[in-house]
Amino acid sequence: MCYLDLPLRESYHNNNIPIMDPTSSFIKDNHRYLRTCILYEVLQEKPIFDSYKDFCKTVGQDAMNYPDFEFWYYQLYHGNKDLNYDRSADPQPKTIMDVPVGSLTKIAEYLDPVERALLRSMNKSIKAVADSFPPVFEKICVKIADENTFWSWNDKSYVCYKDVSGCTLFRNGRNCSMEKSDECYLEKGLGYLTPLLKNPNVRVNHFSLYLFDEILKTDDLLHVPFHAKSLDIYGQTTNEVVQFLSAMTPGYLESISLNGSFLGEEENFRLIFETDQFKQANIVNLDMNMSFNVADLASFSHLKKFKFHIKSINAAEDAKRIRDTISTFEEFESCELSFYRGWEGAPTREFAEALGEEIPMESFVPKMTISHSYQIPGSNKCLEFKIKDGDVWCRIEILKI
């Protein structure tokens, strides 16, 4: 039973209608009534945290903090029904700050990087303990769409699906732990993810980011600058991709791969060349949807390896320009170019003949591969070409040996 008078008890029990008018204020201002409400929750034999949520829903979020609720809940649960009990003579409860640093360090050692990222936000002392374990990852992958958010780091994975009433979070796939929430799937997912990615000490060898529908700003997700050695981005616009590319640490970032829905954005593609991240990278792979001219090849002169798509009007002329331009690249090791001329068929034969390879008409077979070697003037090195025929394009692989 509840020890409130009948009208008050019925008002409290009917917590589908929040009692925020005078009854609620009346309860919040009277400690004895608050403790009586807690007694009512104890008598329902529900778990303590469920009881606390019902208590807050009915009386108000600011009526009592959880530690005080927990104290009175267990006092009443263990049979101490003295609602006027004076706590002032009790010893002060211990907090996490009373735990020795050595013990905190031992605790942090058993936490995973995501849990440590949450721990470091508590206060400066605990932050120092958490930061004594630098979060270094082999790989982190984040995928954000209009129905779910997926992220993984090393061998752990999480996915949060949109539900009718909120979302469902799965840890390590559908066969592991599940958590229901009334939060938006994106807010729930980012709530787990951003404390980790906003840690300025995070280092990752390979970072993948796929943005299929939601348009995010870097501040929503990452600490800037973000330390990744290799980056793979799929975005909806060139500006979005450049925004996240620019959030990486220049110089630390060595390899870049950019993909996305870029059709009709040719005027924006060269924004990539203007970033410090591109200028200081070693390897760059650009999506087939991003087409460049032969003149743009000069922007790749500092790279060891690269891959991109070239539009051409005159295959014979452009073949020589490509060869002569790449032969001057001092850092160059290899590249792959998709060579495109519209819907007139692949310019494989014209490209090979422009480099000096004689291919009799009767010997040319569709989908064939043609090899060519070019001695770099004034050097003991040469460029080895493999020209692979396709339907409307040819793929040119070039290797310096």
pLDDT tens string 159-170:
999 998 899 998
For residue 398, give both structure tokens: 């070039």
Average pLDDT over residues 270-290: 93
Question: First vs last Cα of the chain: how many Å apart?
Answer: 88
Under a CB-based contact definition with an 8 Å cutoff, are residues 275 and 299 in contact? Answer: no
Compare 27 and 64 and report the one with higher pLDDT. Answer: 64
The reply to whether omega before 377 is within 30° of 0 (cis) is no
Average pLDDT over residues 119-132: 71
Name the band, by pLDDT with cuts 50, 70 and 90, for residue 334: very high
Confidence of residue 2 (pLDDT cuts 50, 70, 90): very low
| Residue 195 confidence (pLDDT) | 83
Structure tokens, 128: 């120092």
pLDDT band at 299 (very low <50, low <70, confident <90, very high): very high
Q: Write the pLDDT tens digit of every residue in 173-216.
A: 555 778 888 899 988 888 888 888 888 888 999 999 999 876 77
* Statement: residue 3 has pLDDT above 50: no
Please tell me the predicted confidence (pLDDT) of residue 8.
47
> Strand runs (DSSP E) across 293-360, as ranges?
305-311, 334-340
Which pLDDT score, from 0 to 100, does residue 315 have?
85
Bridge partners of 33? none
CA distances to 118, 226, 293, 317 from 272, rounded to whole Å, are 34, 18, 15, 26
Collapsed DSSP state (helix, strand, coil) of residue 29? coil
Q: Taking a C-beta distance cutoff of 8 angstroms, is the pair 300, 293 a contact? A: no
Could you read off the pLDDT of 65-75 as tens digits, one per residue? 888 888 888 88
Contact of 285 with 308, CB cutoff 8 Å: yes
Distance of CA 287 to the CA centre of its chain: 20
User: How far apart are the C-alpha atoms of 192 and 362, rounded to whole Å?
Assistant: 63
Tokens of 325: 């331009």
Could you give the CA distance from residue 47 to residue 45 in angstroms, rounded to a whole number?
7
* Number of other residues whose CB lies within 10 A of the CB of residue 18: 12
pLDDT for the residue numbered 345: 59
For residue 333, the model assigns a pLDDT of 97
Give the length of the chain.
Answer: 401
Res. 244: pLDDT tops 90: yes
Question: What's the pLDDT tens digit per position in 205-214?
Answer: 999 999 987 6
DSSP H helices in 157-297: 185-197, 218-221, 238-245, 276-279
Higher pLDDT, 280 or 23: 280
Residue 322: DSSP 8-state: H
Residue 116 binned pLDDT confidence (cut-offs 50, 70, 90): confident
For range 296-315, the mean pLDDT: 92
Sign of CA dihedral 167, 170, 173, 174: negative
- The full set of domain ranges for the chain reads 6-89, 96-130, 293-401
Read off the pLDDT of residues 15-63 as tens digits, 9 standing for 90 and up: 544 444 445 565 666 778 888 888 888 888 888 888 888 888 888 877 8
pLDDT at site 19: 42
What mean pLDDT value characterizes the chain?
83
The answer to whether the CB of 372 falls within 8 A of the CB of 356 is: yes
